[in-house]
Amino acid sequence: MQNEQEKDVIKELTQSDLNQDMVDLGVGRYRARIESAKKREAESETKYGQRLIRGGLPTYSKAIKEMVDGWDNRNSALWQLGLREMKPSVIGFIVIKAVLDCITLKKNMAAVSHFVGSRVEDQHRCDFLVKNNEAKGEGIVLGAQRRRGGCVSRPTRSLCQAPRTGGGATSLVVV
């Protein structure tokens, strides 16, 4: 009688049960990573974020180059002069990354535009410092490369983020 009760308590594990358990664990882990990225406002670091960046960057960079080349040199605003000095691929990367990082937040278009504009402006300032103040520029680049968690290594550039405390994050694309 006791043997029959033990058999009822211990269920046989079949291969299909094991497969289903593994799928459930994998899906849970994937969703946890996405939720973690949303909390950190870093959805561009997820697999789908990286795919969107890789897929959209060439077309977006080309469109930015055409837009900047289409401006005439009369009555240029300060922001237009700054964008002319930057590479279209860097601008495109920063814009796509910034939009992906805040896409699930409930922000209106003006807030997203301000967020994107501030990231591009931060990059322009960093480029200016690297170009015109060698000691400070080297410090910025080294600090960005040392930061853990925010750096993504690539063959030609790396993206590093400052910690998200106080004044907000700044992106630095080293080309």
Handedness of CA 125, 94, 143, 131 (dihedral sign): negative
Nearest CA among 98, 100, 143 for reference residue 120:
98
- Res 53 pLDDT > 70: yes
Greater model confidence, 19 or 152: 19
Distance of CA 28 to the CA centre of its chain: 22
Greater model confidence, 107 or 150: 107
Q: What pLDDT, in 10s, does the model give residues 79-132?
A: 888 888 899 999 999 999 988 888 888 888 898 889 899 999 988 988 888 888
Greater model confidence, 97 or 72: 97
Residue 6 has what pLDDT?
A: 58
Q: Taking the C-alpha atoms of 100, 102, 104 and 110 in order, what is their torsion angle to the nearest 10 degrees?
A: -120
Task: Band the pLDDT of 173: cuts 50, 70, 90.
Answer: low
- Res 58 pLDDT > 70: yes
Distance CA 45, CA 127 (A): 23
Sequence ranges of the domains in the chain: 42-144
Distance CA 46, CA 110 (A): 25
